[in-house]
Amino acid sequence: MLAAGTKEVHEKAENTQFVKDFLRGRIRKELFKLGAVALYHTYTAMEEEIERNKDHPHFAPLYFPAELHRHEALARDIEYFYGPEWKSQITCSEATQRYVDRIHQVGQEDPVLLVAHAYTRYMGDLSGGQVLRKVAQRALKLPPTGEGLEFYQFDAIHSAKAFKQLYRSRMNELDLEVETKKKLVEEAVKAFHFNMEVRVKN
């Protein structure tokens, strides 16, 4: 249901000007840095709520902190770009703040909807994100040792394909009512829209 329900918005997200330019290697370092900052705020919020709800019966089967959590990797990336005083140099854009607020709202009021946010981000990171890593490394002339691109490196996952299959099978086994599943699809569509807004307005 999630794959089918987000197909249209997923295609739209993949065809935004930002993604097209990125894939062609037309990415300015300043914009890339702002993107990392937006992701840092987003993942910090999402992973705070995941930690808060890790024992929730509808989220517990999808709790893979060692494999998936990204906020620490993003902090290292931002430190690489901004230096040791990075925390005093970054701000959260309005578009990112709206996304962050929604994640906190969901985590506190209706935690099952966190599944939609985790699915949208992590499965995307393990798919297209790997292509973006290579493009960014080339276009921005970043070190081959991975500095500035740790966000894209999932050291605890040996096979992205196998892990995605495991994650999806765990999602399919969640015991949810049809109405809840519909709400999850709606939330995933919202998550895609938040991601597109952040790219446009950073």
DSSP 158: S
Q: Which residue has the tokens 């005093």?
A: 88
CA 77 remoteness from chain centre: 15
Q: In this predicted structure, what is the pLDDT of residue 99?
A: 98
Structural domain spans, the chain: 2-201
SS3 15: coil
Nearest CA among 172, 74, 58, 53 for reference residue 121: 74
> What's the predicted TM-score (pTM) here?
0.95
Mean pLDDT by 10 residues, the chain (202 residues): 94 89 91 96 98 97 98 98 97 97 98 97 90 92 94 95 97 96 98 91 60
Q: In this predicted structure, what is the pLDDT of residue 90?
A: 97
Q: What does the pLDDT look like over 50-61, one tens digit per residue? A: 999 999 999 999
State how far the Cα of 44 lies from the Cα of 50, in Å rounded to an integer: 10
2-201, CATH topology level: Heme Oxygenase; Chain A (1.20.910)
**Are 47 and 70 spatial neighbours (Cβ–Cβ below 8 Å)?**
yes
